[in-house]
Amino acid sequence: MIKESGKFKWIDKGDGGKPIILLHGLMGGADNFGEMVDFISEEYHVYGLDLKLFEGNILKVSVKNLSDYLFDFMNHLEIKSAVLIGNSMGGHIALIFAKEHPEMVDGMVLTGSSGLFENSLGNTFPRRGDKEYIRKKTQEVFYDPKVATDELVDRVYAIANKRTSTLKLLGYAKSAIRHNMSNDLPNLDIKTCLIWGEKDIVTPPHVAEEFHKLMRKSELHWIPLCGHAAMWEHPKRFSEIVLKWLKDHNL
């Protein structure tokens, strides 16, 4: 499923249907979409782009540069347009990309997206050297703390204990605050499916309601007993909502 070409690395699964590009959040990777990829790829060609958040020049850390990275990726694979599915900061990247390249976006699915609520990234900042704190903050992403496996906690802990990675985390968070989308959302003429965990404490329910209010072509769907990463915690239900929405809108 993993492919590499040029500067890009991505999960590649499925043969038919329109392309769907997955955009992960600040503390994750393309594998955050997990089982959801299996469900969606039965009918669509899924590309889970690794955003390589902690590689490269620290001076180029911004959500705008990640949107440019997506643009380069699509051109590299000659993808003319796609549906974008973004979680957390991945949703923010999708929004910036849709503003700059609307002709390349067939539709968007946003879940726990940043872009409006400026504390959504700041609340998750890890503290270096304190693994129990890291475990607690990682568990807060999910309604069911058991989803935060030891492997995931170890990954977040490793990021938190590298000085350059911590600086990049801060850089992305400040960039997200600077790129608040509240004035842009009413002008986006793109079909959007908002899927939110009812128990999301990172981007709480009022954030989803604000997105829905500002985006005139949006639908809002709730998943109960679910936190910030709906596609990870409830992959089957999340996929059912996505597939129905895609069919309803001929995407």
User: Is the pLDDT reported for residue 145 higher than 80?
Assistant: yes
* Residue 128, pLDDT score: 62
Domains of the chain and CATH, by start? 2-248 (3.40.50.1820)
User: Is the pLDDT reported for residue 237 higher than 70?
Assistant: yes
Compute the mean pLDDT over every residue in the chain, rounded to the nearest whole number.
91
Per-residue pLDDT tens for 178-234? 899 999 999 999 999 999 999 999 999 999 999 999 999 999 999 999 999 999 999
Angle among Cα 122, 126, 131 to the nearest 5 degrees reads 160
Q: Kindly report the pTM of this predicted structure.
A: 0.93
Rounded mean pLDDT of 75-89? 97
* Residue 98, pLDDT score: 98
% of the chain with per-residue pLDDT over 90: 68
